[in-house]
Amino acid sequence: MQNVIIFGASGHGSVVLDCLEKEGKYNVIGFVDPYKLKGARVNGYQVLGSEYDLPYLINRSNIVGGIVAIGDNWTRKCIVDRIVRVVPHFNFINTAHPKAIIGIDVMMGCGSVFMPGAIINANSRIHDFCIINTNSSLGHDSIMESYSSLAP
């Protein structure tokens, strides 16, 4: 499995961690959060520092990507912008909880989260850094623009 990190070690970060663990595609190394004490533990994972520690963390832990787990749309965009300034070609991953339902011919950008019970119907387009929250539904042929979120 490839090593990834989660940006944001608060409540939304815990839910994203749950999605990643249950999806089973990646190995989570820890959290990156400038507002938490470096070395603190969240859900059994260590807070590794801030986005400014990324070059060191990527090399030390062979990190291939990560996901921004910030619920607020504007703040999520600001964090992504800071990450890209530090590591211009950072690989942002998606995660879909196994209980999410994703229909046929759904286009997904990068950095999005599909929570448990989310339903994405056929032919929908989801751009970058979106959150489809628990028990939310996106109808067929719909479009979600980057940095948007959907709640039940």
Is residue 14 domain-shared with residue 76, that is, in the same domain? Answer: yes
The fraction of the chain above a pLDDT of 90, given in percent, is 99
Mean pLDDT of the chain: 96
105-141 pLDDT, tens digit per residue, is: 999 999 999 999 999 999 999 999 999 999 999 999 9
The residue range of the domain holding 117 is 95-150
Instruction: Estimate the share of the chain in helix, then strand, then coil, as percent rounded to the nearest 5.
Output: 25, 30, 45
pLDDT of residue 152: 84
Give me the CATH number covering residue 56: 3.40.50.20
**Looking at the DSSP assignment, which residues form a beta bridge with residue 68?**
7
- Of the CA atoms within 13 Å of residue 38, those in its CB half-sphere come to 8
Is residue 102 domain-shared with residue 136, that is, in the same domain? Answer: yes
Residue 44: which residues within 8 A CB-CB, separation 6 or more? none
Is residue 82 domain-shared with residue 99, that is, in the same domain? Answer: no
Structural domains in the chain (count): 2
pTM to 2 decimal places: 0.95
Mean pLDDT of the 83-93 span: 97
